[in-house]
Amino acid sequence: MSTSTTSPLKTALIGLSSAPTGHGWLNHFHLPALQKHVDKFQITSVLGSSLTNAQNAIKKHNLASSIRAYGMPEDLAKDKEVDFLVVGVKAPLHRDVIMPSLQGGRLKGMFVEWPIGRSLAETEEIINLARAQNLRTAVGLQGRYSAVTRRSHQLIPRIGRILSTTVVGTLPSGDGKTEPAGTAYALDPANGATILDIHFAHFIECLTFALDADFATVSGLAKTMHPTTNLIDPLTTEVVQTEYPKPSPDQILAQGLLRSKSATPSDAAEGDVVYSIHIRGGSSISGGMTWLIYGSNGEIEITSPYHMVPWINLPVPWKIRVKVDGAEDVEEENVTEEEEGQPAVGRLWDAFVEGNDGGWPDFEHALKIHRVVDAVWRSSRDGKVVKL
């Protein structure tokens, strides 16, 4: 499948919301990106949690009345005109909504929000079937397209060979105080949507792109320091349930070696980069993130006053400081997006449409990120270093 074909891909939206609190990325960012490329994608159907919800979503977003509504994945799979899926439901539902259409064998491609599946095994099942059908795929790992990630990548050559990188950061979830009731599913590790599965994964997408490196070894720890939390109504912020069980981790640590993508087998050791990552829930007196990149000819510091989320457009700028050996001064600049919303998502879709080789995160790339996340889980469970 190629987006250069003359006929637009007949596209099904899975997870388009009609709810008053419908803050999903499909609603606000993926749908506008698709509508920007109307010559490539024709929205023909919507799959909701029920037929009524799908119909309401079509009306809420002012989509064409000819668009078909479905309430069951099996019914969507019978629609012979659908050849492309855009999946934006909660992570634990991904397999259930994808597999009927994927097993039907008529698809040409799909876009899936991160993560692909709840576990590495579930992810591999989906990817293997998509690979066997030679589908053109993309995954919602937009971090490489954010302004701060791209600028960091551009600055790396100035500090020589990368020797180590260290990051400490906080997240708005996992402080043990409150969580939105609608995201309570993410507090159960079985659903594959913890801060390790989601936030850590998005960050390492940014890190590996900026440093042009892959994970080689992982020594990880996923620890739950807050075993309960309070659930709140996202509209009123009133507590609706106290002492809600929270088995999901709120402290994530990983360290080991990265391997530069430019390293050859004969000089593999020269491509080693030492890394250390610590992510935790809550806020910090020192700001939201401090990321240091130490090179043979200098150092880069990237900081944010508002959490460790370089894949998201924040209302405040990121600060990057560069110190090159021999230079008298430390250079400093603020980095922010020039556009509103989440422009990195739009850039991901642009890259997918333009078809630049290797220019977007597809299923094969996402599998590497899934394997790193799984390695942290396994290392934490078994107390061993995992080699990738």
Q: What is the DSSP string of 75-93?
A: HHHT-TT--EEEE-S-GGG
Distance CA 264, CA 269 (A): 9
Task: Give the model's pLDDT for residue 357.
Answer: 58
Question: Residue 210 corresponds to which amino acid?
Answer: A
* Token pair listed for 359: 């220019």
Task: Give the model's pLDDT for residue 339.
Answer: 87
Task: Indicate the SS3 state at residue 342.
Answer: coil
* Pairing label, strands 272-281, 178-180: unpaired
Distance CA 336, CA 151 (A): 10
Question: Residue 137 corresponds to which amino acid?
Answer: T
Residue with tokens 């944010």: 304
Measure Cα distances from 338 to 148, 314, 317, 318 in Å.
12, 11, 11, 13
Find out whether 244 and 230 touch, Cβ atoms under 8 Å: yes
How crowded is residue 185: how many other Cβ atoms within 10 Å of its Cβ? 14
Task: Give the model's pLDDT for residue 283.
Answer: 85
Question: Residue 364 corresponds to which amino acid?
Answer: E
* Token pair listed for 234: 């996202």
* Pairing label, strands 9-14, 41-47: parallel
Find out whether 298 and 187 touch, Cβ atoms under 8 Å: no
As separate numbers, helices (DSSP H) first and strands (DSSP E) second, the chain gives 10, 19
239's CB contacts (< 8 A; 6+ apart) are 178, 230, 231, 232
Task: Give the model's pLDDT for residue 324.
Answer: 97
Question: Residue 220 corresponds to which amino acid?
Answer: G
85's CB contacts (< 8 A; 6+ apart) are 11, 12, 14, 98, 101, 107, 109, 110, 111, 112
Task: Give the model's pLDDT for residue 235.
Answer: 87
How crowded is residue 80: how many other Cβ atoms within 10 Å of its Cβ? 9
Average pLDDT for consecutive 10-residue bins of the chain (388 residues)?
68 88 79 93 96 95 95 97 96 98 97 97 98 97 96 97 97 92 95 97 97 98 97 93 97 97 72 96 88 98 91 91 96 93 94 82 98 98 98
* Pairing label, strands 289-295, 272-281: unpaired
Residues paired with 278 in a beta bridge: 168, 253
Cis preceding-peptide flag for 115 (omega within 30 of 0): yes
Task: Give the model's pLDDT for residue 1.
Answer: 40
Q: Please state the pTM of the whole predicted model.
A: 0.94
Walk me through the domains of the chain, giving residue ranges and CATH numbers. 9-113 (3.40.50.720), 143-340+366-382 (3.30.360.10)
* Token pair listed for 301: 């510091």
Query: Whose CA is closest to 149, among 289, 286, 276?
Result: 289
